[in-house]
Amino acid sequence: MSGPVYNFAYLNEQTKRMIRRAILKAVAIPGYQVPFAAREMPMPLGWGTGGVQVTAACLTQDDILKVIDQGADDTTNAVSIRKFFVKTAGIATTDVTDDATIIQTRHRIPETPLNENQILVYQVPIPEPLRFLEPRETETRKMHALEEYGVMHVKLYEDIARFGEIATAYDYPALVNDRYVFDPSPIPKFDNPKLNNSAALQLFGAGREKRIYAIPPHTKVKSLDFEDFPFSLPKWDKPCAICGSQTSYLDEIVMDDQGGRMFVCSDTDHCRKTQALK
Amino acid sequence: MYVAVKGGEKAIDAAHQLLAEARRGDVSVPEISIRQIEEQLSLAVDRVMNEGSLYDRGFASLAIKQSRGDLIEAIFLVRAARTTLARFGYAEPLDTAKMQTRRRISAAFKDLPGGQILGPTFDYTHRLLEEVMPLEAAQLADQLVVENMPKVLGLLGDEGLIEPALPSATTVGDITQDPPSFPMPRDERLQSLARGDEGFLLSLAYSSQRGFGRTHPFAGEIRLGEIEVSFVPEELGFEIVIGEITVTECEMINQFKGSADVPPQFTRGYGLTFGHCERKAMSVALVDRALRSAELGEEVGSPVQDEEFVISHSDNVQATGFVEHLKLPHYVDFQSELILLRNLRKEKAAE
């Protein structure tokens, strides 16, 4: 028995049009979660099907695709998604951030600043920033509509009262265009400043939860904080052990069971570039 | 027309004959063998062994055939067979660090001693429906097997970043010998979850990920492999190896905000299953951690955190029995309801 024949980038054109309409609405209302009729994709829900659908809807034959997971091109799921688009769309791919026209990412924003010809597509597990304060969608949509974000500020305040700082290290909520509190997906808060005023279009796809949202180029994105407890970034004691970068996000590699650790760039393209400059 | 209500015996015999025919299907198609099920539907076999609470691939395969592939029915058959077996004692606890590991992944560290081993997995396959190509013997991949691989959570434990995993202070309970009572100690809870329905536990685990009793999980380590089972016969007084089983173990790392006495540290959720049942092991680990909410002083209010709700409804043999019992005759009860209802309506009409 032979299998079905698939369209360019897997999805049929009607589905892509539906997704593009959701994307356009998302771009028009920065930070607002647009419901869309997410489809089943040939990978499990929760493994980037939202991002894959957004990428599929944006891809043209001339695009050059980069896929990263945890900042790296060689991570298993990134390899799998890249292979999927090579197989179903036959497009060119790259590891080099500067060369890519579409970058699909999970959990990181590239260290290299993006430009206006690029689209950054995020894979989103839980699009709703208020979800863990209020589990019901009927309630959270009302809260967004009424701009009722007090509960989020109370949560951040309680963190400070208990720990002396805001105890959120990733998935750090931010305010988009002075209107919607949004969930930047589980990127480390280290990456939050890169969300602000980015030259690239940033699209967020949540397949299982059937939501798309966007940050258009050069949009204000402000991480939530307090005047006396401003948003702050984590620091490492040492630079990257491979390239010596002091400005990039570092992964901890366990070397042995005697407590040996090594810290290296999570963004493999950035690490390669910095080494080449040395 | 009067419908015959006697003759149940004949009807049952005829129904079972029809069942046997339906089980066999078209006789022009070759019959599947127990060995084929064992080898080629191995994950169904694993699931039946888990929820059937009996490590016997042959029994499980036979049950799958007998049940026409209805896995809950197969689980039921295995449980019913299990209950007839003589018990001669308890095996020694497994030390999963000694596993002959075929698959080991950690989502917490990019690399670590022993490395990441994908092993046989659906992960990263594209779910494109296509013909399964015949596999030639020459194409067989080398299977990497690693012995004595250090446990990922142990690496965190060295720094005190995660709560210690302490052996139980008392004798381990046995839910197959003692009726459950609530509150239930964690060892008995884990036993119940080990035989609990995969779908039910999966949905509960999922609900906790979506905010109904949040647990902040990271898959610290998932490992699959073979491990020896030892037993100390009373008459010998020393340990002898009685066999080798395949198990899947999942150790989740979860957040914990600390309390007045304990500084913030990671906490554990644990799942262990027979065979390769990764989805189940992960679900058990998530539900285990959620059920520890009260112990860790967290707010309790979601279904997954409610021990009595979760444990009392996780067993699919119990659940299917009671749901399907509604098919049994209830003529007498129903008749009494009919009489009551007619009377009530008559009284209402008379008013």
Distance CA A272, CA B264 (A): 36
Residue B275 class from Cβ within 10 Å (0-12 exposed, 13-18 middle, 19+ buried)? buried
Distance CA A262, CA A252 (A): 6
The DSSP code for A170 is B
CB contact under 8 A, A257 and B123: no
CB contact under 8 A, B129 and A4: yes
- From B40's Cα to the closest Cα of chain A, the distance in A is 20
CA-wise closest residue to B304 among B287, B279, B320, B326: B287
Which of B109, B112, B211 shows the shortest C-beta gap to A131?
B211
Beta strands at B100-105 and A261-265: parallel, antiparallel or unpaired: unpaired
Q: What is the dihedral of CA B156, A191, A65, A46, to 10 degrees?
A: 50
pLDDT digits (tens, 9 = 90+) for A113-152: 999 999 999 999 999 999 989 988 989 999 999 999 999 9
Beta-strand ranges (E) seen in chain B are: 100-105, 217-231, 240-254, 267-274
Answer yes or no: A265 catalytic: yes
What pLDDT does residue B137 have?
A: 67
pLDDT at A55 over 90: yes
Distance CA A245, CA A247 (A): 6
CA-wise closest residue to B247 among B110, B123, B97, B106: B97
Asked if A7 reaches chain B (Cβ–Cβ under 8 Å), the answer is no
pLDDT digits (tens, 9 = 90+) for B128-160: 888 877 777 667 777 889 888 889 998 888 888
Contact A202, A215 (CB under 8 A): yes
**Residues in chain B whose beta carbon is closer than 8 A to a beta carbon of chain A?**
109-113, 118, 123-131, 150, 154-155, 158-159, 210-212, 214, 257, 264, 302
At A99, is the secondary structure helix, strand, or coil? helix
Partners of A10 in beta bridges: A7
CB contact under 8 A, B109 and A3: no
ipTM of the complex model: 0.74
Residues of chain B with pLDDT under 70: 1-7, 137-138, 169
CB contact under 8 A, B127 and A135: no
| A115 C-beta neighbours (distance < 10 Å), count | 13
Q: Which of A50, A51, A205, A271 is catalytic?
A: A271
